[in-house]
Structure 1
Amino acid sequence: MSGGRGKRNRPDWQIIRSVCQLVAGNNISRAVTTINESNSWDLVIDTATTEKCFGLIASNLSQENLIDYGVTEEIRRIIHDAHLENVTRNMGIFSQALKVTQALNSSGIKPIFLKGTASLLTRANADIGAREQADIDLLVEPDQIYQTCETLLEIGYSFIAYSKANKNHRDIDEAKRNSRFHHHLPPMVSPDHALPIEIHKTHLPIELKSCPSMESLLRSCEIHDIHGAKIRAPSIEHRLIHLILGEYVRDGYWSKSQVPFRAISDYIDLTTACSAPGSRIKWDQVDKHCASKRRHFLAMLAICLPEISSPYLLSTKPPIFQEMLIIGRYNHSLLGSLLDFQGRARHLLNALFSNPNKIFSYFERMKI
């Protein structure tokens, strides 16, 4: 049995299933055996790195005795280094988010952190090296946006200029003008910190017609005290809605029949956190905004991880056509290309009909 790094062009369904198992921490021994026997570690690592979930896989594998699984020393070192690197990076992100919160608190603002940052700050017992982040998403009340920008400018942040010819700038009015058709301002960056910060005007894009109102999210937010800093995090129901509508649907996984590894992990993580006695997810609130899309997501999850137990799966067998598309896109490159094209076209058409000014703003940036 080989455990080295082999070379293959693209992952087939067998590899995708193995990556799903590693991401979910489910049937790890079976997944590792499959990868070893097919000599596919190189492909698994490349796929997971592209999908920004190798840190999570490394976190799950770091808890296993990989020597017993026949994993080579080279792969064990790569996994160990990836986990250590992500722990170090996320400690820096935690510190960055905390400093931003302290500055905003001093201005009378309690920021709402979204997505991965909310989990990073509020899950005290979770492995800090498990999730990879590309940015820090925060949301404030509409009348606090200007003050939030001013506060971040005061502590060394600046706006990313959309034009490559321009340097980063500190003009709030220009940033608002450049993002007038988008749900967040241009990212703000600091030379002293790793991640850009996106200040959201709304929690989900305008083209997602079924998303809950801003007022509903604000009412449901939970306040957390993190080392004396006050943050807010969306309720579990709003985070699940954001995951399904924002990550699964808007990011194109749904329309392309593509497996969303990070969303799978986040869904399992969020629902597991509420499985303790006394905890309960109000599924009627979730399904009010995304019932059909959640069923589609759960069917996808059942296809990818049929062995995982309730409450993650549908009680019925997933639709055969959905299963054929998901498996087919990975086993047949032409079908995968067609689904990718369809997904991009659907995204552009949806944006054009629901928010046509957004398309024009893209062209404005291209002309600069």
Structure 2
Amino acid sequence: MRADTALDALVSGLQGHLVADVDWQALIALANHTLLTPALFSSLAQSGQIERLPGDVRDYLAFIDDCNRNRNLSLRAQLIETVAAFNSRGIVPILLKGAVPLFVSPPGRLPSRMTSDLDIAVEAGEEAAAKGCLEELGYREVPDVRGMARPQDAGILELRRYRPDGFGCPQPVQRDGLRVKIPSLEARAMHWIMHDLLKEGDYWRGRIDLRHLHDLAQLAESEQLDWAALRTAMPNKTTRNALDTQLLTLHHFFGTKIPADAAGRPMPRLQHWRRIYTVRHPVSGAPLRLAGNLAWGLSRLTRSLELARRNPIELVRRAGLILSNKGLRSKI
């Protein structure tokens, strides 16, 4: 099975559909790489297709789903403990990314999403108190990684300062006596899009984080997400191009309804074509990938010069990873 065929089969599976003549080894390898194996099992189970799978495939997917459920239970307990400790200090944290469904989902219906860590924000004046609270719980800074951790926990906890995003204040939510704030749908979508396309360079490198794309598709499907408001909030042309590129890719894979204006401008259409072409044709698309990696490197030139002064060996290592398309984690 070619890489693009495995991709199509995975996307269909995430929507609860099976395609004919599936190469399960290739599909599962891609699902594992993109951290979507539990989501694949959940979608096929909900659509009633799970019994049509070969027995060994079904057993493997169920095993991974069960392991992920146990890990999410641990992450949820870790999150609840943290929120309770913050609340006792008068701090109402803002939950970000994967921490949101872990908190709001009923205990018996934990999300199937693979969550790597817990992202929590607090107001600027609460940072010191929040960090001190975590230290009392036994958390310590992780060297060379942004976050704090304990040996017994399933994931790292990343504490950051909340920055207003133009979509109003996060809304207070209370569950089982615990108080948190949750950003709007548009703010959560913008966080994922800007993190991937701009902070991690997917817009320049032509990469796709399929797990986050699936997150966006589910967010848009479950609730009324105002894409037009999101497009209006973009501060400049580059961020608007990045958003429209992601919307085109979202529509391409998951059929999500997007504003007509998002598909009309030449640059996002070109960037979208480049992403899809290099995913489906990795050999002939290699020059496009190299050009994108070089563009990404140039866009980070200022930071690179700073890193070169502090740690030239680390700069060479990172440059090698970028140019060789390594260290991409779950991206395709």
State the TM bucket, normalised to the shorter chain.
Answer: 0.7 to 0.9
TM-score, with normalisation over the residues of structure 2?
A: 0.80
Matched, 1:13 2:1: no
For residue 257 of structure 2, the aligned residue among 301, 310, 313 is 310
Contact map agreement 2:170 2:181 (CA 8 A) in 1: yes
Shift of 1:100: 0.5
Counterpart residue number, 2:311: 363
Counterpart mapping for 1:61-76 below 5 A:
61-66=44-49, 69=52, 71-76=53-58
Query: How many angstroms apart in 2 are the aligned matches of 1:259 and 1:318?
Result: 20
For residue 122 of structure 1, the aligned residue among 90, 104, 108 is 104
Counterpart residue number, 2:191: 242
Query: How many angstroms apart in 1 are the aligned matches of 2:219 and 2:7?
Result: 22
Comparing 247-256 with 265-274, greater Cα deviation is found at 247-256
Counterpart residue number, 1:288: 233
Q: SS where residue 86 of structure 2 aligns?
A: helix
Query: How many angstroms apart in 1 are the aligned matches of 2:26 and 2:178?
Result: 42
For residue 41 of structure 2, the aligned residue among 54, 58, 62 is 58
Query: How many angstroms apart in 1 are the aligned matches of 2:123 and 2:272?
Result: 42
Counterpart mapping for 1:114-263 below 5 A:
114-124=96-106, 127-162=109-144, 186-201=146-161, 214-216=163-165, 219-263=168-212
Give every structure 1 segment of 4 or more consecutive aligned residues whose post-TM-superposition deviation is greater than 4 Å.
123-127, 216-219, 311-324, 355-358, 364-367
Shift of 1:233: 1.4
Counterpart residue number, 1:266: 215
Shift of 1:263: 2.1
Shift of 1:82: 1.5
Deviations 1:300-327 (A, max 9, x none): 123334xx36358878589774565334
**Alignment length (residue pairs):** 309
Change (3 A) 1:357 1:236: farther
Q: SS where residue 230 of structure 1 aligns?
A: strand
Shift of 1:239: 0.8
Change (3 A) 1:322 1:13: farther
Shift of 1:141: 1.5
Counterpart residue number, 2:327: none
TM-score, with normalisation over the residues of structure 1?
A: 0.73
Comparing 42-51 with 71-80, greater Cα deviation is found at 42-51
Contact map agreement 1:104 1:151 (CA 8 A) in 2: yes
One-letter amino acid of the structure 2 residue matched with residue 59 of structure 1:
S
One-letter amino acid of the structure 2 residue matched with residue 200 of structure 1:
R
Q: SS where residue 52 of structure 1 aligns?
A: coil
One-letter amino acid of the structure 2 residue matched with residue 188 of structure 1:
M
One-letter amino acid of the structure 2 residue matched with residue 288 of structure 1:
A
Percent same amino acid among aligned pairs? 19
- Aligned alpha-carbon RMSD (Å): 3.2
Query: How many angstroms apart in 1 are the aligned matches of 2:312 and 2:95?
Result: 30
For residue 99 of structure 1, the aligned residue among 81, 100, 108 is 81
Contact map agreement 1:90 1:128 (CA 8 A) in 2: yes
Shift of 1:234: 1.2
Query: How many angstroms apart in 2 are the aligned matches of 1:358 and 1:112?
Result: 32
Q: What 5-or-longer segments of structure 1 have no aligned partner?
A: 1-7, 163-184, 203-213
Counterpart residue number, 1:332: 281
Contact map agreement 2:121 2:159 (CA 8 A) in 1: yes
Q: SS where residue 164 of structure 2 aligns?
A: helix
Shift of 1:157: 0.8
Shift of 1:146: 1.4
Matched, 1:78 2:69: no
Change (3 A) 1:351 1:332: same
